Structure 1
Amino acid sequence: MLNATLTYDTLRFGEFEEFPETAEPVWILGRHFSALTEKDEILSDVSSRLWFTYRKNFQPIGGTGPTSDTGWGCMLRCGQMILAEALVCRHLGRDWRWHRGQRQREEYVSILSAFIDKKDCYYSIHQIAQMGVGEGKSIGQWYGPNTVAQVLKKLSIFDSWSRLAVHVAMDNTVVIEEINRVPHRPVSERLCMPWLDYAGAACSEPEPDPQRGLNGCLEGACAMAVEEMVLWKPLVLLIPLRLGLSDINEAYMETLKQCFMLPQALGVIGGKPNSAHYFIGFVGEELIYLDPHTTQVAVEPSHDGQVPDDTYHCQHPPCRMNIRELDPSIAVGFFCQTEEDFDDWCMRIRKMSCSREALPMFELVDSQPSHYASADVLNLTPDFSDSDRLERFFDSEDEEFEILSL
């Protein structure tokens, strides 16, 4: 773990272990590399991921709260990183690359701006910390993977630009029926509000005109918006898991590594007890990760809206740790831009589940098993209120949890 007081210059010029010269394949978020012939490409891919670390000297959280998250915000920062990766895939594409010093695309600036350490940014440390109060976590308290997943789900609702559907799969089970309910909005719901556009804003047409398209709106913006709403919303799927007692069960190691090989991979948030990392891939028996345990000064956007972004990209060789050192409490993430992506993900997961070489980490089912509590009972909505009870299954600091059966 990096010392929390390291400066950015230390990060740039300090001593970091070079990437290994190995014939073992390197996998980073669904992309395959060779460490022997593509080292520059590996480093470019890693440095293109948004890297969020501890910050200091930002606005007090809640007006009177902490001005730094050093020592307690590592899982919050990892949550930011896994969601930022989803936004990059959503707006820029997985193969987008960051180049230092170049003026960046408008979409990139919008993504990064959503995570700046200010109270009015969608996914700022301020928003995550304050939303966590509703999950039973006081400001300044360490989060577990499940808590940060639930908070991100709530915050994503206010992000009208990205229009993500964030689903947190509980009880080690991904229910396709529940996911299909989340990204869709029935046509009938839209048709009963003839004077609203897709964002809920009043349509400018004074009365219906059958010659001008659906509900009297102009063919174009409103009609296109209706189509987008009826069809698939880009899906962020987060699955909190417990893969052992005090240590990760070896039976799950190959399955975990295979998750990084899927084209829909967003990575894994987890780490060691009370020390979180954002895992983005693996080589051999080592996991590749971004480490948030470095304190940097909070950044302010310039007068023209540009964000000084050097400190938001890891420009040294990525950190690595043996997979056996991983704390068993994790959350694994996936991103499906289209419904076809989700269907492909389901096919790949089912194929992985049939493998005799690795034990499945979670179950994929078409509909909710009858012996499970209903979603209404658990209230698995953006106003989720039962997380305290469920949190004990997934947070490392609790001694009571559910273990995946062998």
Structure 2
Amino acid sequence: MTDLPERVVASEFPAGQSADSTDRERVAANSEQKASHNKSLKASFLSSFFASTLSIFETHPESHSGEKKATKSRSYGWTTAVKKVVAGGSMRRLQERLLGTSSTDALSLTSEIWLLGMRYKLSPEESSGGADHGNGSAAFLEDFSSRIWITYRKGFDAIGYSKLTSDVRWGCMIRSSQMLVAQALLFHHLGRYWRKPSQKPHDPKYIEILHLFGDSEACAFSLHNLLEAGKGYGLAAGSWLGPYAMCRTWETLARAKREQADLDREKESLPMAVYVVSGDEDGERGGAPVVCIDVAARLCSDFSKGQISWVPILLLVPLVLGLEKVNPRYIPLLWETFTFPQSLGILGGKPGTSTYIVGVQDDKALYLDPHEVQVAVDIKTDDLDADTSSYHCSTVRNLPLDLIDPSLAIGFYCRDKDDFEDFCTRASDLEDKSNGAPLFTVAQTIRSAKSVQHQDSLVDSLGGAGNSGMDDTFAGDNFRDCDAHSGDDEWQIL
């Protein structure tokens, strides 16, 4: 898919900066300090270099038509090679790191950032060394750059009969979903406060997680295995799919890997139940999905084969929040989901261009971009000194929340029953703030076989309600019955 227009954090952050022509004007205008002046000079020089290098691809009139054919023949191969280097991801990263200039729509140093359930209050005093960095830009960037970043790859084993060895231009939704699930695994095994250490050896669990997302059939959650699991939802090598089908693909793959692990203890599986909170046959009609507590309990019981009453849960909530654009009434609700401690972010982006949205600030969505093309790597589970740099990114890109595709999916990870109860309480509070148009709702039971809009076939297959070992913990006024949402107040696309 096509790349998103890039917007990156301001130069006040210590790493991952980007630049454009308007940035250089802004830096030049703020040359009161010597450091800023030097930065402007450096940006001007480097920008001239990049501009002059790129200019070789412009079309210029030929003064001697007889020379045109020969010149084109001699220079075509060289020009093509240089173009690939200059326009490629490596050169882009080099430019971002060397220019060190700020973006005209850079992140604010006075507004709070929410990153997957954690709040960071930035301060303008940090740049002068007068602030506590424990909760400022340095801490935010350390957290952001510790998130697992998964991108386009090239040079991996061919995908089945397709002979494709790269997912460039079509695999961004798959890569975005891999990032979301990878964060769930990080939170599960290492905790939300884990940060990537600067020294080796790495934590074995961290390496194991990266191995799971390698690009071969031997890796449990690889592109190859997701494509196989998603065949029933139209997923195929070289094609693109939406968030709903991607969530269903993960549900299918998790079930398949769980069954394999039951037969072979050496097989890897997802250590959590997957609950796709969605409805009708295609998941694209709108309507507020319902998180049914009894369904979650039944999934936990099934996952553990009745041995324990509760297990960790990965909640995936596909949504359609408008036709061509997200209806503005839902943007504050999307924003607030990032304040949930259970937040795993959003699969979203611009139409046809998927990203992994991990945070928000003001009216901006902060995301990890899967559109960087990198060479495939093979992280072995026992290689604690492996080079993992291609799985992390310190460039914080952003786009306006009101420009994201209305078709998206929100993810949540609930570690245990108490965590799930807290999630349900927060979700119900969010519903109360929605003025009759919630993102999703919470209910205790399913009392009727009648299908409610956006109640999915998975719920139907569970057959009835029952308390599934649930106590009265969730039986409060906050939670209604699932079939109570079929009335006049039912949410719909506006």
Same-fold call, TM cutoff 0.5: yes
Unmatched runs of 5 consecutive residues or more in structure 1? 191-228, 383-401
Identity %: 32
- 8 Å contact kept, 1:254–1:358: no
Q: Select between 134-143 and 289-298 the one with higher mean Cα deviation.
A: 134-143
- The structure-2 alpha-carbon separation of the partners of 1:123 and 1:178, relative to structure 1 and needing over 3 Å to count, comes to same
Q: Does 1:165 align with 2:273?
A: yes
Unmatched runs of 5 consecutive residues or more in structure 2? 7-83, 127-135, 259-267, 280-288, 462-489
Aligned to 2:366: 288
- 8 Å contact kept, 1:115–1:123: yes
Amino acid at match of 2:403: E
- 8 Å contact kept, 1:117–1:125: yes
Tell me by how many angstroms 1:120 deviates: 1.2
Aligned to 1:202: none
Match of residue 348, structure 1, among 403, 426, 444: 426
Q: Does 1:308 align with 2:391?
A: no
Larger relative contact order (CA 8 Å, sep ≥ 6) = 1
Tell me by how many angstroms 1:147 deviates: 1.1
Q: State the alpha-carbon separation in 2 of the partners of residues 186 and 156 from structure 1.
A: 11
SS in 1 for 2:348: strand
What are the equivalent positions in structure 2 for 1:66-215 lying under 5 Å apart? Answer: 66-157=164-255, 158=257, 160=268, 162-171=270-279, 172-185=289-302
Amino acid at match of 2:492: L
What are the equivalent positions in structure 2 for 1:29-48 lying under 5 Å apart? Answer: 29-36=116-123, 37=126, 38-48=136-146
Q: State the alpha-carbon separation in 1 of the partners of residues 457 and 373 from structure 2.
A: 38
- 8 Å contact kept, 2:290–2:454: no
Aligned to 1:387: none
Tell me by how many angstroms 1:13 deviates: 4.7
Amino acid at match of 2:394: Q
- 8 Å contact kept, 1:29–1:260: yes
Match of residue 279, structure 1, among 357, 381, 385: 357
Q: State the alpha-carbon separation in 2 of the partners of residues 186 and 155 from structure 1.
A: 14
Tell me by how many angstroms 1:101 deviates: 4.5
Number of matched pairs: 347
Tell me by how many angstroms 1:173 deviates: 1.8
Aligned to 2:88: 6
Amino acid at match of 1:312: Y
Q: State the alpha-carbon separation in 2 of the partners of residues 134 and 185 from structure 1.
A: 23
TM-score with structure 1 setting the length? 0.78
Tell me by how many angstroms 1:332 deviates: 0.3
SS in 2 for 1:238: strand
Aligned to 2:335: 257
SS in 1 for 2:160: helix
Aligned to 2:471: none
Structure 1 or 2, whichever has the larger Rg, is: 2
Q: Select between 339-348 and 11-20 the one with higher mean Cα deviation.
A: 11-20
- Deviation string 1:373-396 (CA, Å, 9 cap, x unpaired) is 6999935699xxxxxxxxxxxxxx
Q: Does 1:320 align with 2:398?
A: yes
Match of residue 107, structure 2, among 11, 20, 27: 20
Q: State the alpha-carbon separation in 1 of the partners of residues 246 and 122 from structure 2.
A: 33
Tell me by how many angstroms 1:46 deviates: 0.7
Amino acid at match of 1:349: A
Q: State the alpha-carbon separation in 1 of the partners of residues 460 and 94 from structure 2.
A: 42
- The structure-2 alpha-carbon separation of the partners of 1:145 and 1:17, relative to structure 1 and needing over 3 Å to count, comes to farther
Q: State the alpha-carbon separation in 2 of the partners of residues 363 and 338 from structure 1.
A: 20
Tell me by how many angstroms 1:6 deviates: 2.8
Match of residue 297, structure 1, among 372, 375, 381: 375
Q: Does 1:236 align with 2:353?
A: no
- Deviation string 1:130-171 (CA, Å, 9 cap, x unpaired) is 211122222221021011111111222315554210110113
SS in 2 for 1:333: strand
SS in 2 for 1:183: helix
- 8 Å contact kept, 1:243–1:249: yes
- The structure-2 alpha-carbon separation of the partners of 1:293 and 1:367, relative to structure 1 and needing over 3 Å to count, comes to same
More helix by proportion, 1 or 2?
2
Q: State the alpha-carbon separation in 1 of the partners of residues 102 and 160 from structure 2.
A: 39
- 8 Å contact kept, 1:81–1:278: yes
Q: CA RMSD in A?
A: 2.8
